[in-house]
Amino acid sequence: MGNKVTPRTLSGFMELLPQDQLKFDKIAATLKQVYASYGFLPLDTPVLEASEVLLAKAGGETEQQIYRFNKGDTDLAMRFDLTVPLAKYVAKNYSSLTFPFKRWQIGKVYRGERAQKGRFREFYQADIDIIGDTKLDIINDAELPSIIYNIFTSLGLDDFTIRINNRKVLSGFFEMLNLSDNITDILRIVDKLEKIGRDAVAKELKELGADASQCQEILDFISISGTTAQVIEKLRGYGGKNETFDTGVDELAAVTEGIAAFCVPEKNYRIDLCIARGLDYYTGTVYETTFNRHPEIGSICSGGRYENLAEYYTDKKLPGVGISIGLTRLFYILSAMGYLSDGASVGADVLIIPMTGDLSYAIGVSNTLRNMGLRVQIYFEQKKFKHKIGYADKLGIPFAAFIGEDEIAAGKVTVKNMGTGEQVTDTLETVADLMKATLSKAQSEKIIRLD
């Protein structure tokens, strides 16, 4: 062969080495397991859609980032989130679905953003949504924080706070202040409180036309704190003046009571009147989740309640509530911070190393151990012993099984624990049990290890 093409991967596209891919897969498997444990159903939609369908709602910045092209005379676009495909799917399959429709989807989405470190153009989103037909009970909004809690604790991350708010509380409050014309702008400013601070928020509010007393009211309001019960009580103090506000407080009270019923510990959630979520389609409950020791990375799981999922496709009213995890980014951050345990980054449990030319006994051993539930690889290449054992070492395979003349004659196998160096010659049943005992300890290790 003459000229070679340089093998490269596009910038902004994550492509992992096997040991990292194993970790990523363990995280994804944990998410799926938790989603399924709440009765969510899997969904897999195409990466490519007709542009007309995918961009029914999009506009502005989003549209510029989209990978859009023609093939023949078809105008195509790659999905940029999992929400629009869900809306299309539910509208299209309305009569075949049973509502409330609970679905999870983990899939790649595409955004042609400016390339920079930690920003991805192809990335996984992990979404769950509960979609109602015409109505969806508010208590569903309490189930999602319970799922967030289960996901992160199952992964090994317990140092997080789920922040909960309700858009009706915010917009009702601003109506009371006669600032309802500027609600969208105010919410946008208020949403930045943590980023830019109290003074900068006040300044921006003034620029928007709020007078000193309005500014003070807003700042007092968004600073309300305490236990969930205390915050609800303080909010009740503003009650009776605005219907939207009162509804919002009722919802927030129902949701936080529900979260407690779901046994989410108090330390892992709180009402935060500052969060509003950027997207303009949330209409009730909103969520953000912060990794407490790293607030700088922003929310690691966000979402909320919306009035109408699919209004661009159907007249049916389909309210819903959902959350989304930016899985690729989360993995990138956890990995870069060194929080991912190596326990999951092994492919095989045992490497069988044949020491004689006759492989049939070794292959038989591999069959038997595999049937006993072990992941078994045989080293087939004709290399020196040092190279063979080095292979197990490099791949982090926890056990090596040697099969020589003696083992074949005795119908046994010699197993070496690569970590401790311990070596045992015994029957297949016995060595399998020994290996499984060690492995089950490693497998129960959580993928995220903060210490």
The CA-atom distances, in angstroms, between 227 and each of 167, 192, 237, 248, 408 are: 20, 23, 16, 18, 68
- Asked if 69 interacts with a second copy (CB under 8 A), we say yes
Give the nearest distance from C-beta 349 to a second copy in angstroms. Answer: 8
**What is the β-pairing status of strands 122-131 and 101-110?**
antiparallel
Among 46, 118, 239, 265, binds a second copy (CB under 8 A): 46
DSSP classification of residue 157: -
- Asked if 281 interacts with a second copy (CB under 8 A), we say no
The CA-atom distances, in angstroms, between 331 and each of 8, 30, 162, 282, 299 are: 22, 13, 19, 26, 14
CA 326, CA 126: separation in Å to the nearest integer?
A: 6
- Asked if 118 interacts with a second copy (CB under 8 A), we say no
Q: Which stretch binds a second copy (CB under 8 A): 11-19, 153-161, 192-200, 443-451?
A: 11-19
* E strand map for 314-364: 320-326, 350-354
Binding residues among 206-225 for a second copy as defined by CB under 8 A:
none
- Asked if 313 interacts with a second copy (CB under 8 A), we say yes
Assigned token pair, 434: 């020994």
- Asked if 326 interacts with a second copy (CB under 8 A), we say no
CA 178, CA 214: separation in Å to the nearest integer?
A: 9
DSSP helix/strand/coil, 246: helix
Which is closer to a second copy, CB of 176 or CB of 260?
260
Give the nearest distance from C-beta 150 to a second copy in angstroms. Answer: 8
Give the nearest distance from C-beta 195 to a second copy in angstroms. Answer: 30
Strand partners, 34: none
Q: Which stretch binds a second copy (CB under 8 A): 52-60, 176-184, 210-218, 245-253?
A: 52-60
Q: Which stretch binds a second copy (CB under 8 A): 165-173, 254-262, 268-276, 288-296?
A: 254-262
Give the nearest distance from C-beta 118 to a second copy in angstroms. Answer: 17
- Asked if 136 interacts with a second copy (CB under 8 A), we say yes
Give the nearest distance from C-beta 197 to a second copy in angstroms. Answer: 37
- Asked if 387 interacts with a second copy (CB under 8 A), we say no
CA 285, CA 140: separation in Å to the nearest integer?
A: 10
Give the nearest distance from C-beta 133 to a second copy in angstroms. Answer: 9
Q: Which stretch binds a second copy (CB under 8 A): 155-163, 168-176, 362-370, 416-424?
A: 362-370
What is the rounded (10 degree) CA torsion for 231, 232, 238, 244? 130
Give the nearest distance from C-beta 83 to a second copy in angstroms. Answer: 13
Q: Which residues contact 298 (CB under 8 A, 6 or more apart)?
A: 290
Specify burial of residue 188 (Cβ count, 10 A radius: 0-12, 13-18, 19+): middle
- Asked if 122 interacts with a second copy (CB under 8 A), we say yes
Give the nearest distance from C-beta 447 to a second copy in angstroms. Answer: 14
Among 139, 200, 212, 410, binds a second copy (CB under 8 A): 139
- Asked if 428 interacts with a second copy (CB under 8 A), we say no
CA 340, CA 49: separation in Å to the nearest integer?
A: 35
Among 97, 229, 297, 450, binds a second copy (CB under 8 A): 97
Q: Position of tokens 């899997």?
A: 42
Binding residues among 391-410 for a second copy as defined by CB under 8 A:
391, 394-395, 397
User: How many Cβ atoms sit within 10 Å of the Cβ of residue 159?
Assistant: 14
Give the nearest distance from C-beta 199 to a second copy in angstroms. Answer: 40
